[in-house]
Structure formats: C-alpha cells, structure tokens
Amino acid sequence: MRMMRPSRRAMLAPFGALALLLFVTAPASAGCPKLLMFDGTNFHTQATDEQAAYWGDTVGVQGFFVNRVMASWQDDVGTRTDSKLWRQLGLFQSIYARHGVADNFIKVALYKPIDWRDGDALKQVVRNFSHAAALARHAGLKGIAIDLEPYEPTWVDSGELSATVQAEASAIAEAMRTAYPQMTLVVIKDALHQNYPHTPLDELVSKFGTDPGPSRHFWHGGYALAIPFLHGLLSADWAHVVVATEVTYDGADMAAPVRQTQRNYEVFMGAEQAGRSGLSVAPGLWPLGHSYTDKSARDTPPAFAEHLRSAYSAAKDYVWIYGYGSAWQTDGPYGEAPVTPDFPQYTAAIHAMRASCTTRAADPHMRRQAR
C-alpha cells in the first residue's frame, strides 16, 4: 500500500498550541540531541527512498537501532564487503542518510542463550562483534548498540563465572574498537538499575558489589552477571558511550533520572574513564504500541509532547523511542495494523520539538535567556 505523506503544515496544524509550548520551553543546549527509533524498519526490505522519506520526513526520526543485521551474539556478518548483507546495509545507510536518518546503529540482542563455560563459543562471539563493528564502519553507521535485556537466561549469578564474563566483555570491547576506533557504543537497558530494581536511583551507588537477591525474583534470572560484563565492556577507551535508559518511559520529568543515571555510571566507570568516553545518557520514550497488532497509544498526544520536551531538555546526544515493532507504521514489517487514529499529532510533536530546539540552539540570545 502506498503511503501518503502529509505536508509539514498539515501535520502541525492540529498541534499549533503545543508546538508553540515546545518552542517556548526548548532546551538551552549548544546543540540538539538526535532522535532514534528502536525497531520500526527492516533494512532488508525497506531500503527505498519512499520508506526513508516516511521515517525521516514524515515521522522525523534521525536514526535507528537496526535489527536483523547481527540479531544475536552467535550471528556472524562475515568480512566480505561484496556479500549481500554488507551491500544491503550500505544501501540502507546511504538512502536513509539522504533523508536525515543518518545516526544508525547495529543492534545486537540476547535472543539466544550464552554458554559462559564454552571457551570456543566465546571466542567466536568476540569475532562476531569484531566483524559487526567492521561492517558498521564500512557501511557508514555510527556504531553498535548492545541490548542487555536477557530474552534467554544470560546473567544468572554464578560467582565462579564473574571473571570469565568480565574477560569476555573486555575482549568484545577491544575487538570492536580495533575494527572501528571511532564508533559510538550504545548500551540499551540500564543494567545497574535492573540489578537492583527496587533501589531508588539516588541510592544505587551504595548497592554496587552487593548481592541483588535471589535470581528467581527476576525475569530470566536477573542481571547479576551483567555487572562484571559492564565492568569489562566499559573499561575500554571508547570514543563515545551512550547509556539508553528505560527509567524515563513513564515520567514527564526526565532531568532528575537522566542526571542520576549519568552520575551512577560515572561512579561505576570512574570519573576519568567516563570523561574520556564522552559518557551520556539517552532517555527513552514509549508512546505507542501495546503489541505487534495493537498499535494504540500509551501516551496522549499532549503527554507525548511534554515527555518529548522533557527528554530533549535532559539529553545531551540522543533521545530514543521504543517503537514496539511497527507501532509507527500501518504496513510495517513487524505487523500490519492501523496506527492510532490521532497519529499525525505524534509526528507533529516531533517536528515541533526539533524545529524549536534547532532555532534555540542557533540563537545565542535565546540560549542566554533560558539560563
């Protein structure tokens, strides 16, 4: 089905008052964060100008966490630059970048279990991440996004495995950095918070290194081993590290949790290491989608506009949206179903926020007024 793209004026018209509010309350940063989408596109089938224009011009996102490239740690993208996979991802990047969707990341998830006692398998995982980083560099992507959510039991606590997990993470980090020295590493899911989910963010530092509790209390065994993994992964001299947090999904005031999450990782990594890596926190939003077929709203349009404003005010580099499959597209690759009836108001909020942020960032007088 051919998608009709409304004009910018048509999209903004029903949202005029909120657009003005966003303009007045835009962040006073030197620049604007980029807006990323989790899910939504399929680089195999949607590498067309029509699809790129939909996401870049109609929706207004500026990048994706791209699935289905190296879906799981066990998947190897290879090293052949003339392979179908490498050529397809390069085509996707070049087409989408023409429409302003340039900050794309290969997203790697834990869809399959990891056997921490299988040395040969762990060596292959390191090679796989090295190949993925080389592909990201070759295709022009920004880097790799590692989703730490254990869709299969992965981080169940076992004291004798901590050193192995940390060493594996260090090897993965060095392999990716060698293949793509200037890449951005995105860590999706704040594993520090997930390991102690009932601890307030501002008390989390006091919990580092303590027992998180019985694994049976957590989804797929919890995140205990994710802590030594993070120690190894974040010990490398990264050019740029971004923590994509979900603690902001349900709150309009994102400044406090973003600031506290930044502080927690600075303590965890060490201030010097965090500074070298340009550590920043990307607040996440989840406005649309309850399932792959139920694309109805979780936030009203005014609530989304306020959450978006708050996220832009709090973020340094990126804001991201959990798209729940194809919640932002009627005939999307994750499921065909109608989008929410007032969908244009959500895209209008994105365009209004981006426009107001860009205007303010370019005007020194407006930046001084907001201080």
pLDDT digits (tens, 9 = 90+) for 180-203: 999 999 999 999 999 998 899 999
pLDDT value, residue 31: 87
Q: Is the pLDDT of residue 153 over 60?
A: yes
Q: Residues 224-245: what's their mean pLDDT?
A: 97
Is 197 or 339 the better-scoring residue by pLDDT?
339
- pLDDT tens readout for residues 270-286: 999 999 999 999 999 99
pLDDT tens-place string over residues 76-114: 999 999 999 999 999 999 999 999 999 999 999 999 999
pLDDT of residue 258 exceeding 50: yes
User: How far, in Å, CA of 121 to CA of 76, rounded?
Assistant: 12
Mean pLDDT to the nearest integer, 63-83: 98
- Cα–Cα distance, 166 to 52 (Å, whole number): 39
* d(C-alpha 272, C-alpha 113), whole Å: 34
The pLDDT of residue 46: 96
pLDDT number for residue 219: 80
pLDDT band with cut points at 50, 70 and 90 for residue 251: confident
Q: Give the pLDDT of residue 360.
A: 81
How high is the pLDDT of residue 161?
95
Phi, psi of 58 (to 5 degrees): -85, -55
What pLDDT score was predicted for residue 216? 66
* Whether pLDDT at 16 is above 70: no
pLDDT of res. 209: 84
